[in-house]
């Protein structure tokens, strides 16, 4: 064999080896990007909101733990949204959902124990965690026969979404995590005083809760427009939030912040992931998003200037368009 030919064969073999290594090595997370979404869109929007179409009806599927209540609207690739602590379907911003529905088949549902998603004692018993609530989301996706799904999780819903893709991400094409936190010791849990505010009752509770969900310069608009911008559907029976369910969600989050095994599982997630955090989030600090970005290999992080924890109410159209661009990519 001529030396030059041997050299060419060696070079080709070496190149193939590097290609194989590249294919087997998870993509690195993309460095954080600081962005601005323009003027706050809270208050005064005049655009489509699906809850005023007059055609939506609440539907129910049976999951392994009991009924799961959901609404479905829009056209396009499916997007399943998972809501947060002490939240129901109604806590989504209607304009945010409407903007997503322009290009997507949008599914919103209540976590177990909320609204008509009443199963809290089935095979998992009354004590349940993120993995159990992720199983509920997986049941909904399977029962609806969804394929190439984008899962969007906000706050505690982002924790459920992480558990969902870490456990089994068959059929999940994209993951979007908004204002949430990773599992394990690298997380920065919400302060006890913040948790007390979010769980508060009484005539002054609304103002206190708005004060931790929004930065000071958005608070006035939030006080005026938060309730009117909520996803308000005729026929949706939002029951008072059960204190036992809130306590269980609290326990689930406490275990989440101590779950090192779940953090290690995220390192093996291959689903492309968009992490969005508010620079002025007083509930779950954006240090959580930075930790998530380091844990999830194929992730990108965007930190939004002047955004608080409920950024889908502050920037409903801009945030929906950001998600749409990521899902369609």
Does residue 22 lie within any of the structural domains? Answer: no
pLDDT confidence of residue 15:
38
Per-residue b or e along 148-175, where b marks 16 or more CB atoms closer than 10 Å to that residue's CB: ebbbbbbbbbbbbbbbbbbeebeebebb
List the CATH number of the domain containing 63: 3.40.50.1820
Does residue 59 lie within any of the structural domains? Answer: yes
Does residue 301 lie within any of the structural domains? Answer: yes
pTM exceeding the 0.85 threshold for the entire prediction: yes
Domain count within the chain: 1
* Ranges of residues in the chain whose predicted pLDDT is under 50: 1-26, 122-125
Does residue 13 lie within any of the structural domains? Answer: no
Does residue 44 lie within any of the structural domains? Answer: yes
pLDDT confidence of residue 167:
86
Q: Are 101 and 50 in contact (CB under 8 A)?
A: yes
Does residue 173 lie within any of the structural domains? Answer: yes
Q: Is 237 exposed, middle or buried (0-12, 13-18, 19+ CB in 10 A)?
A: exposed
Does residue 234 lie within any of the structural domains? Answer: yes
pLDDT confidence of residue 22:
34
List of residues 6+ apart from 219 with CB closer than 8 A:
210, 211
Domain holding 97, by residue range, is 28-328
- Specify the 3-state DSSP secondary structure of 52: helix
pLDDT confidence of residue 249:
93
d(CA 266, CA 261): 9
Does residue 251 lie within any of the structural domains? Answer: yes
Q: Are 319 and 292 in contact (CB under 8 A)?
A: no
pLDDT confidence of residue 126:
67
């Amino acid at each position: 064999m001529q030396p030059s030919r041997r050299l060419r064969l060696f070079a080709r073999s070496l190149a193939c080896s590097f290609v194989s290594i590249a294919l087997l090595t998870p993509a690195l997370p993309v460095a954080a990007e600081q962005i601005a979404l323009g003027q706050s869109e809270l208050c005064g929007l005049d655009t489509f909101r699906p809850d005023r179409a007059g055609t939506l009806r609440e539907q129910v599927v049976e999951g392994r733990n009991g009924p799961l209540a959901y609404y479905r609207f829009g056209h396009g690739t499916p997007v399943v949204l998972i809501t947060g602590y002490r939240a129901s379907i109604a806590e989504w911003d209607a304009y945010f959902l409407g903007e997503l529905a322009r290009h997507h088949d949008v599914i919103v549902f209540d976590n177990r124990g909320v609204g008509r998603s009443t199963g809290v004692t089935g095979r998992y018993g009354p004590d349940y965690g993120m993995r159990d609530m992720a199983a509920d989301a997986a049941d909904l996706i399977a029962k609806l026969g969804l394929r190439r799904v984008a899962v969007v999780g906000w706050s505690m819903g982002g924790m459920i979404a992480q558990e969902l893709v870490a456990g089994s991400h068959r059929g999940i094409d994209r993951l979007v995590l908004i204002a949430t936190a990773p599992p394990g010791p690298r997380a920065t849990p919400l302060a006890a005083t913040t948790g007390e505010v979010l769980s508060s009752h009484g005539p002054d509770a609304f103002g206190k809760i708005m004060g931790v969900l929004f930065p000071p310069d958005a608070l006035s608009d939030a006080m005026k427009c938060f309730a009117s911008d909520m996803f308000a559907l005729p026929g949706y029976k939002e029951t008072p939030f059960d204190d036992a369910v809130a306590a269980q969600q609290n326990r689930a989050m406490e275990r989440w912040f101590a779950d090192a095994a779940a953090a290690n599982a995220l390192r093996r997630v291959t689903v492309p992931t968009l992490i969005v955090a508010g620079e002025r989030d007083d509930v779950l600090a954006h240090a959580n998003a930075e930790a998530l970005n380091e844990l999830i290999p194929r992730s990108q992080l965007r930190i939004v200037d002047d955004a608080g924890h409920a950024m889908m109410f502050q920037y409903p159209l801009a945030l929906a368009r950001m998600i749409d661009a990521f899902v369609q990519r």
